[in-house]
């Protein structure tokens, strides 16, 4: 019997016992579907996290006040150690492309009869380039606006949606931020939700004089010339700020620097590890399905003992018998694998729609799941096939 004939016989055997075949394949179906769903959801989560961190800016370092991951505290409470002069000094470093200080605070925004609780980000013009914030209409405020502490504002899409009726152009309109009147000069394009859409951007000097009452800033955003120079820039900024803050060798930094590329790599690696862990747990279902295949194949060998004896009596070799039963196990496993693949793809789409999570169905995950299903069929089908091939023809013919 050639391979094609063995394949046809195996397929007919599956169709002859449809319910038993389906129940046998159930473990494989669930396992393959679970692997595909876990990998696709994990891949989507990785992509979403990566895009959100990337949207914070490219080649970006963020300097924040405090040692380690907490603010510096003195007798009077929190001490903010970063200033506009620090930002100007950092801008003079050779490998730095853009620098933008940031002073943030929650405010109440009012336009006409509409009120919205949001936050301000006091900053400078380069902030737009650093954070990749395209404008939908209008313009970002200028260096002259910063020098004059002008009462001008650039709005995110969430703020616009909550302060102005649909279809109204906010450019030139007046809004009140904590009872101070600002003129809207620009509206940012949507960033896909999140904090950047729900912010009002104003000159940093305006934020300091009108809202915080301090000369300090809450962060300094630094864009290096390229990713390769990030580590060098981080070292230079650390050295510069320690000098400016007059810290000796025994004193810890009174600031900390976040390298967003390093954060992105760490998060992506952690998400990848978690995805592989979940996929490994899901793969246990494939092993359970393999055990089910072994059980059914052993039953099948017992049921067909007389058939095996007849085939051997007319000249079938042990290898032919082994191949026949091994092909049946593989067909059973692959049929379950393909059904599981379809179920996994469909369920991934359903999860994406119902839960609002992005999913990425990678061809590699499908190949991995189907390939693993085939290996399960070979591994767990070999013993029953070997048992059939080693049967004594005389004893097999006597079997009732």
Does residue 127 surpass a pLDDT of 90? yes
More confident position, 147 or 340? 147
Instruction: For residues 390 and 393, give the distance between their C-alpha atoms in angstroms, rounded to a whole number.
Output: 9
Residues 386 and 305 reside in one and the same domain:
yes
Q: How many CB atoms lie within 10 A of CB 75?
A: 5
Residues 129 and 164 reside in one and the same domain:
yes
What DSSP line would sit under 129-167, residue for residue?
A: HHTT--EEEE-PPPHHHHHTT--EEEE-HHHHHHHS-TT
Instruction: For residues 334 and 340, give the distance between their C-alpha atoms in angstroms, rounded to a whole number.
Output: 9
Residues 230 and 269 reside in one and the same domain:
no
Residues 91 and 224 reside in one and the same domain:
yes
- 3-class DSSP state for residue 317? coil
Within a domain: 257: no
Within a domain: 67: no
Within a domain: 65: no
pLDDT tens digit sequence for 283-303: 677 777 777 777 777 777 776
Residues 270 and 212 reside in one and the same domain:
no
Instruction: For residues 262 and 239, give the distance between their C-alpha atoms in angstroms, rounded to a whole number.
Output: 20
pTM above 0.75, yes or no: no
Residues 88 and 192 reside in one and the same domain:
yes
Host H or E run for residue 304: none
Does residue 383 surpass a pLDDT of 80? no
Residues 93 and 213 reside in one and the same domain:
yes
Within a domain: 73: no
Largest CA-CA distance found in the chain, in angstroms, rounded: 105
Residues 21 and 100 reside in one and the same domain:
no
Within a domain: 77: no
Residues 106 and 144 reside in one and the same domain:
yes
The dihedrals phi and psi of 177, each to the nearest 5 degrees, come to -115, 110
Residues 168 and 314 reside in one and the same domain:
no
pLDDT of 73? 44
Residues 380 and 299 reside in one and the same domain:
yes
Per-residue b or e along 100-133, where b marks 16 or more CB atoms closer than 10 Å to that residue's CB: bbbbbeebebbbeeeebebebbbbbbbbbebbeb
Instruction: For residues 388 and 312, give the distance between their C-alpha atoms in angstroms, rounded to a whole number.
Output: 11
Within a domain: 255: no
DSSP state of 209: I
Q: Which domain holds residue 149?
A: 82-244
Instruction: For residues 171 and 167, give the distance between their C-alpha atoms in angstroms, rounded to a whole number.
Output: 12
Within a domain: 63: no
pLDDT tens digit sequence for 309-356: 777 777 777 777 777 777 877 888 888 888 888 988 888 888 888 866
Instruction: For residues 30 and 102, give the distance between their C-alpha atoms in angstroms, rounded to a whole number.
Output: 51
Instruction: For residues 399 and 304, give the distance between their C-alpha atoms in angstroms, rounded to a whole number.
Output: 9
Q: How many domains does the chain have?
A: 2
pLDDT of 55? 60
Residues 191 and 305 reside in one and the same domain:
no
pLDDT tens digit sequence for 213-264: 888 899 999 998 887 888 899 999 999 999 999 999 888 998 989 887 776 6
Please say which residue of 183, 212, 244 terminates a domain. 244
Please say which residue of 215, 244, 273 terminates a domain. 244
Within a domain: 380: yes
Split at pLDDT 50, 70, 90, the class of 78 is very low
Of 86, 56, 68, which is closest to residue 267 (Cα–Cα)? 56
Instruction: For residues 38 and 32, give the distance between their C-alpha atoms in angstroms, rounded to a whole number.
Output: 10
DSSP state of 172: T
């Amino acid at each position: 019997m050639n391979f094609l004939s063995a394949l046809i016989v195996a397929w007919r055997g599956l169709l002859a016992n449809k319910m038993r075949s389906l129940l046998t394949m159930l473990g494989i179906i669930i396992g393959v579907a679970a692997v595909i769903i876990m990998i696709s959801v994990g891949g989507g989560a990785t992509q979403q996290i990566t895009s959100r961190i990337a949207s914070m800016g490219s080649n970006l370092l963020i300097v924040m006040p405090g040692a380690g991951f907490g603010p510096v505290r003195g007798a009077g409470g929190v001490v903010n150690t970063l200033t506009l002069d620090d930002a100007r000094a950092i801008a003079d470093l050779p490998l730095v492309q853009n620098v933008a200080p940031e002073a943030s605070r929650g405010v109440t925004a009012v336009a006409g009869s509409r009120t919205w609780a949001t936050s301000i980000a006091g900053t400078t013009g380069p902030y737009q380039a650093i954070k990749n914030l395209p404008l939908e209409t209008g313009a970002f405020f200028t260096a002259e606006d910063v020098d004059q502490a002008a009462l001008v504002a650039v709005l995110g899409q969430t703020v616009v949606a909550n302060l102005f009726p649909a279809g109204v152009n906010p450019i030139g309109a007046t809004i009140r931020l904590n009872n101070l009147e600002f003129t809207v000069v620009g509206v940012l394009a949507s960033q896909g939700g999140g904090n950047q859409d729900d912010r009002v951007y104003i000159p940093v000097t305006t934020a300091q004089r009108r809202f915080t009452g301090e000369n300090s800033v809450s962060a300094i955003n630094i864009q290096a010339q390229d990713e390769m120079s990030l580590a060098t820039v981080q070292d230079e900024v650390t050295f510069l700020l320690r000098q400016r803050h007059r810290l000796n060798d025994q004193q810890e930094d009174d600031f900390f620097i976040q390298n967003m590329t390093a954060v992105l790599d760490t998060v992506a690696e952690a998400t990848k590890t978690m995805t592989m862990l979940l996929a490994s747990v899901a793969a246990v279902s494939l092993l359970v399905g393999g055990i089910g295949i072994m059980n059914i194949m052993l039953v099948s060998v017992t049921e067909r003992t007389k058939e095996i004896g007849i085939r051997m009596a007319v000249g079938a070799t042990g290898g032919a018998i082994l191949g026949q039963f091994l092909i049946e196990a593989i067909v059973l496993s692959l049929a379950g694998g393909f059904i599981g693949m379809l179920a996994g793809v469909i369920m991934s789409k359903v999860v994406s729609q119902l839960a609002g999570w992005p999913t990425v169905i990678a061809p590699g995950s499908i190949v991995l799941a189907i390939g693993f299903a085939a290996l399960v069929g070979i591994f767990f089908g070999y013993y029953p096939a070997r048992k059939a091939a080693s049967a004594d023809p005389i004893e097999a013919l006597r079997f009732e």
